[in-house]
Structure 1
Amino acid sequence: MLTELLTGWIAHQRWFAGKGRPIDKLDIDSDIELSRGLRHLIVSVHQAGTHDRYQILLGCCADDVPDKFRHALIGSGFYDAAHDADLTTTLLEAMAEGRDIGPLRFRHLDDVHIDTSLRSLVLGVEQSNTSLVYGDAYICKLFRRLIPGVNPELEIVNALAARKAAHIAQPYGWIETDLDGEPTTLAMTQEFLANSNDGWALALASVRDLYAWPQESASDAGGDFSSESFRLGTATAEVHHELADAFPTGVMDPPEVRRLMEEYLRRLEQTVAEVPQLAEHAHVAEEAYRRVCEVAHEVPVQRVHGDYHLGQVMRTPTDWVILDFEGEPGQPLAERRALNSPLRDVAGMLRSFDYAARHLLADHPEAQNLLPQAAEWAELNRSSFLAGYSAGGGRLRGEDAVLLRALELAKAVYEVGYEARNRPSWLPIPLAAFQH
C-alpha cells in the first residue's frame, strides 16, 4: 500500500526528475525509523529502463494526518515530514551527537556547536532539493535525488572551511550512507545567512531603478550595481585561489582544448537544428571556437563552482558569500567533480549579468526603447566584475580573453536550447550574446 501511495505522490513533487514519464515501479530500498513517528526512506523509481533513487522523510500517524500537514499529504496516515518541525529536530540532534542510526551516519565538524533547540521551516524556493531553515542559524539541505558518492558541495565547503576561507557559509554537519558501496551525501547543514540578499534580487533592483529613469546612465542611476559587481569579481577570484590550494590542479594541453572546442561545435550544430533562429548567428560561435584552437596553449584547470550565476551568491552586511558548490545537478557526479578552467565560472556570471539586464524586457511595453539601457547596464557590470576578478588575482591575460569569449558563447548556446524549450519569450536574451 505504501509503495502505491508514494508512486502517486512522488510524481508531483518539484524535485522529482522524471516528470512527464510514467513510473513503471517504485521500490523501497531502505526504511529506517529515526524517531517516534519519523522514518527515513530511500526509494528507487523505475522509468523506461532507467532508475533513480530519492530520499523521503516519512511522517507516520496512527490516525488521520493533521490538517496543518494536508499540503504535505502522501496518503492515509503518511505525510512528508520535512514540513514537521516537531520531528525534524531529530536531524539536528543526531548530527550534534554524531549518531549512527542503522546505515545512516550523522556527523558534525570538529569544534562546532549545534543548537538543537531550534525549530525548522521548509524554504519554499528550491526545485531539486529541500532545505530546512532552523531558526536564523542553520540551513539543512536535503538532497532529494541521490547519486552515489560524496556531494561536491560538502566536499568543497568542508575543505574551504578547514582553510578558514572567506566567502563561504560555515558548514556544521552532514548525513551520509552507503549506496553502491560508496559513501553518499544525504544532507548537509550550513550557516543560514540571515539579513542577506541574493545577487539576482539585488541586480534586478538596480535594473528596475534604471528602467524607471531611462534618461540616466547606468552609472548615474540610484541603483548603480557596478561597485558590487567589482566586489563580487574579487570574491570570485579569491575563492578560485582557495580551491586551487585545497584541491589538485592540472593543465589542459592543446589537443584537449581542441577536443573541447569540437564538442562545443557539435552542441552548436545540434542546437541550430533544434532552434533555427540560431543559424544566422552560428558563425560567431564557430569563429570564437576556432580562435581558441589558434591561440590557446596549456589551459590551467582546477576545481570550480560549475553552476555560477547571480542566484548562487549572497550579499551579507559585510561581503559576498558563494553558495551551492554542487555543480549542475543534472550532470554526472564525476563531471561535476572534474577539473575545469576557472573561466567557466567567470563566463557563467557574465551571462547572468546579461540575463539580469534583459529578462525584465520580455513583456515590457517599452522593451525596444530600453534595449540601449539594458546593454549599457550589462556592459558596465560585466566590465566591473572582470576588473574585480583581476584585482583579486584572477587570471585574465590575452589568450584567456579568447577562451572566456568561447566559454561564454558555449553557455549562450545552451541557453538558446533551454529557452526555446521552456521560455520562448526569453529566447532573445541568449541570442543577443552573439551580437556583441
Structure 2
Amino acid sequence: MTDSETTHPQLEAYLEAARWFGGKGRGARVTGIDRIASLDGSPLLTVDLITVAYADGGADEVYQLPLGNYAEPEGRLEHALVGSWYDGRLGHHVFAYDALHDRDAMARYLQAFAETDATREVGGLTFHRLPGHECDTEAHSTLFTGEQSNSSVAFGEDSVLKVFRKITPGPNPDIAVHEVLTRAGSEHVAHLYGWVEAPAGDEVLQLAMLQQFLRTASDGWELAQASVRNLLTEGDLHADEVGGDFAGEAARLGVALAETHEVLAEHFPTHVRTPAEMGELAASMHARLDAALEVAPPLSAYEPALRTAYDAVASLPGSLVQTVHGDLHLGQTLRTVKGWKIVDFEGEPARPLAERMLPDSRWRDVAGMLRSFDYAPRVAAMIASANAVEGDEQRDYRAREWAARNREAFLTAYAGRTLDDDERTLLDAYIADKAVYEAVYEVRNRPAWVTIPLEALEALGAAADDEETR
C-alpha cells in the first residue's frame, strides 16, 4: 500500500464499515499509513498501521490492519476486500484483503509461532512463545463474528489468535496479565501460548496474542440470562426453588475472582493508597459525574447521593491497590467443565492504555460483577415484557429477587466474610461510579435501557438513607 491520497477513500470506506473500528460517524480521515511488517510468501502478508484523524477534533488514533496482498482478485475474499491499488514498494498492482478473513494468510501466523522457540523475528514482527504447547499447524482458521474492538481467529480446536485493532505503544495488559497467570498455573484463565509485537522507538507495539481455545465454554452472560428466563417462566416459584438457580455458579465465580486477585497480588506491584490518594480517587469520581451529567441529565436526580458517596471515599484512611481486570462483567467470563475462566484483561476500552495498566482496588472488579448481576435479570425481564401483555410487576419482582440472591452469593464467596465499614463504603462508591458510566452508555446507545442503572442508583440512595436512619 502506498501513502498517497488515491488509496485513502477505499481505506476510509473499509474502516467505516468495519465492526472493530471505534470512530464511526466522526468524520474519520486517514492521515498516515505505516507498513511495519512484510512476510514474504503466498500471499504476501503485510501489517500496516493506519493513523486516523477526526472531524470532531478528537485525538488521532492508530489501527492495525494486516493485509493479504494478491496480484489477481480472490473471489472467495470479496467480502474482505480493503482496496485495489498500485503499490510502489512492490512494483505492481495489488488486491489487498483483510488478512484475518484469509486462511492462507493466517496460516503464516500459526506457522511462525510453531517455528518459534522463545523469541523469533520474522519480517519486522517479533514472535514470543511460552513453553508447554505444540501448535497444530494443520488447523484451519475461522474468524469469530461476535467481537467489536478486536478480532479473533480460532485455529481449529487448538488455539485462538486475538489481534488488537486499536494500537498504542507500550505493554498491553491483556498479554501482561495472561503471561503472569499462565506461568503461575492459574486455573481461571485461558492459558497464553505466545504474542506478537513490533518495535516502536524505545517501546514496543503489542499486536496480537495466541492463547488456549476453550471450545466447550459457555458465555457467562448467556448462562445468567438462561437462568433468569427459567425463573420468569416458573410462575410463583422463587429464585432458590427453580432448577436453573444460578447462586451456586455466582459463588463459584466469586471464588475464581478472589483466587485470581491473589495470584495477581503476588506477581505484580501493590501498594496502599494514602489519604491524599483516596482524595484523588474521590475527585476522579466527581469529575466523571460532572461529565456524565452533561450527557445524561436524568442523573441529576441522584447527584446529591452520589456526591455524598464519593465524599465518603475521600475520608477513608487508605486502601490496597493492585493489578485488576478493570472491566469485569458476566460477558468477560466463560464457564467450562473445569470451572470459571476470566477473559479479556485489557481493562476499560475507553481509557488510555497507560491508565489501564495502573493498579486499582479489587473492589472495582467486584463492583463491575455486582452491576452485571443486576443487569442480567433486568434485561431478561425487559425482553419478556416486550413479548407479553401483562405480568410486568411480577417479572420486575422476580428480576430484583434474582439479582439480590446472586449478588449476595457472589460477594459472600468472594470476600469469605462480612465486609467492614470502610470496604462497604469503597465498594458502594465503585458501584455508583459504574452505574454512572452505564447511564451515559445507555443514553448514547440504548436509551430504553437507561432505567437499569438509574434504578440501581435509586436503590443505593435508599440504602444510604436507611443506614443514616439507623
TM-score class normalised by the smaller sequence = over 0.9
Is residue 38 of structure 2 the alignment partner of residue 39 of structure 1?
no
- 8 Å CA contact retained: 1:140, 1:188: yes
Residue 432 of structure 1 deviates from its aligned partner by 1.1
Please name the residue that 1:369 is paired with. Answer: 394
For 1:331, the equivalent position in structure 2 comes to 351
Asked if structure 2 preserves the Cα contact closer than 8 Å seen for 1:7 and 1:26, the reply is: no
- State whether residues 150 and 162 of structure 2, in contact with CA within 8 Å, keep that contact through their aligned partners in structure 1: yes
Contact 1:226 1:384 in 2 (8 A): yes
| Bigger RCO (CA 8 Å, 6+ sep) | 1
How far off is 1:58 after superposition? 1.2
The amino acid of 1:72's aligned partner reads: A
CA distance in 1 between partners of 2:200 and 2:402 (Å): 47
| Unaligned residue ranges in structure 1 (runs of 5+) | none
Give CA-to-partner distance per residue, 1:341-387, whole Å, 9 cap, x none.
Answer: 00000000000001101012335144333111111000000000011
Q: Which residues in structure 2 correspond to 1:58-97 (within 5 Å)?
A: 58-66=67-75, 68-76=76-84, 77-97=95-115
**Distance change >3 Å, CA 40–CA 293, structure 1 → 2:** closer
Q: 1:395/1:387 Cα in 2 relative to 1: closer, same or farther (>3 Å)?
A: closer
What is the alpha-carbon distance in structure 1 between the residues aligned to residue 280 and residue 368 of structure 2?
A: 21
Cα deviation for residue 395 of structure 1 reads 8.9
Q: Point out where structure 2 has 5 or more consecutive residues left out of the alignment.
A: 1-5, 85-94, 460-470
| Counterpart for residue 369 of structure 2 | 349
Answering whether residue 76 of structure 2 is matched by residue 51 of structure 1, we say no
CA-based RMSD = 1.7
Give the direction of change, closer, same or farther, for the CA distance of 1:139–1:418 in structure 2 (3 Å limit): same
1:18 matched residue in structure 2: 23
3-state secondary structure, aligned to 2:399: helix
Instruction: Give runs of aligned pairs for residues 269-288 of structure 1, distance below 5 A.
Output: 269-288=290-309
1:385 aligns with 2:410: yes
Is the 1:3–1:28 Cα contact (8 Å) retained in structure 2?
A: no
Q: How far is the alpha carbon of 1:31 from its aligned partner?
A: 5.3
Shift of 1:44: 1.8
Provide Cα deviations, 1:212-264, integer angstroms capped at 9, x if missing partner: 11311011122100000000000100000000001000011112112211221
Give the corresponding residue for 2:467.
none
Say if 1:33 and 1:292 are closer, same or farther in 2 by CA, change over 3 A.
closer
**Alpha-carbon distance in structure 2 between the residues aligned to 1:248 and 1:189:** 25
- Measured in 1, the distance between the counterparts of 2:294 and 2:274 equals 31
| Whole-angstrom distance in 1 between the partners of 2:24 and 2:411 | 39
CA distance in 2, matches of 1:395, 1:170: 33
1:358 equivalent in alignment to 2:378: yes
Q: 8 Å contact 1:278–1:431 — kept in the other structure? A: yes
1:232, 1:90 → 2: CA distance?
37
> 1:40, 1:262 → 2: CA distance?
41
Instruction: Tell me the residue number matched to 1:212.
Output: 233
Which deviates further from its counterpart, 192-201 or 176-185? 176-185
Q: Do the aligned partners of residues 22 and 292 (structure 1) sit closer, same or farther apart at CA in structure 2, a change above 3 Å counting? A: closer
Give the TM-score of the pair, scaled to structure 2.
0.88
How far apart, in 2, do the equivalents of 1:152 and 1:271 lie? Answer: 27
Q: Residue 418 in 1 paired to residue 441 in 2?
A: yes
Instruction: Please name the residue that 1:257 is paired with.
Output: 278
Measured at CA, do residues 219 and 145 of structure 1 come closer, stay the same or move farther in structure 2, by a change above 3 Å? same
1:197 counterpart letter in structure 2: S
2:378 counterpart letter in structure 1: R
Secondary structure of the residue that 1:54 maps to in structure 2? strand
Deviation at 1:397, TM superposition (A): 2.8
Count of residue pairs the alignment pairs up: 432
From 356, 360, 370, the counterpart of 1:340: 360
Distance in 1, Cα, partners of 2:127 & 2:451: 47
* Cα distance, 1:335–1:432 mapped onto 2, change above 3 Å: same
CA distance in 2, matches of 1:423, 1:213: 29
Deviations 1:160-194 (A, max 9, x none): 11111220111111110022431121000110101
Secondary structure of 1:183's aligned partner = strand
Q: Which residue does 2:261 correspond to in 1?
A: 240
State the alpha-carbon separation in 2 of the partners of residues 189 and 131 from structure 1.
9
Structure 1 stretch displaced more, 5-14 or 270-279:
270-279
Letter in 1 for 2:319: V
Residue of structure 1 equivalent to 2:338: 318
Contact 2:332 2:344 in 1 (8 A): yes
Partner letter of residue 395 of structure 2?
L
Secondary structure at the counterpart of residue 376 of structure 1? helix
- For 2:12, the equivalent position in structure 1 comes to 7
| SS across alignment from 2:38 | strand
Partner Cα separation in structure 2 for residue 396 and residue 177 of structure 1: 45
Return closer, same or farther for 1:8/1:204 CA change in 2, 3 Å cut-off: same
